[in-house]
Amino acid sequence: MIERNHLGLCLGAIAVCMAAWLFVGFERYVGDHETGMFWEPFLKRRPSLQMTFRNPAQSDLEILPPDSLGADTKAEFLEYCRVRFGLDDMAICFETIKAARI
47-99 pLDDT per residue, tens:
999 999 999 998 877 889 999 999 999 999 999 999 999 999 999 999 999 88
**DSSP assignments along the chain, one per residue:** -HHHHHHHHHHHHHHHHHHHHHHEEEEEEE--TTT-EEEEEEE-SS--S--EE--TTEETTEEPPGGGS-HHHHHHHHHHHHHHH--S-HHHHHHHHHHH--
Over range 27-37, report the average pLDDT. 79
Q: Where are the domains of the chain?
A: 2-100
Banded model confidence at residue 2, pLDDT cuts 50, 70, 90: low
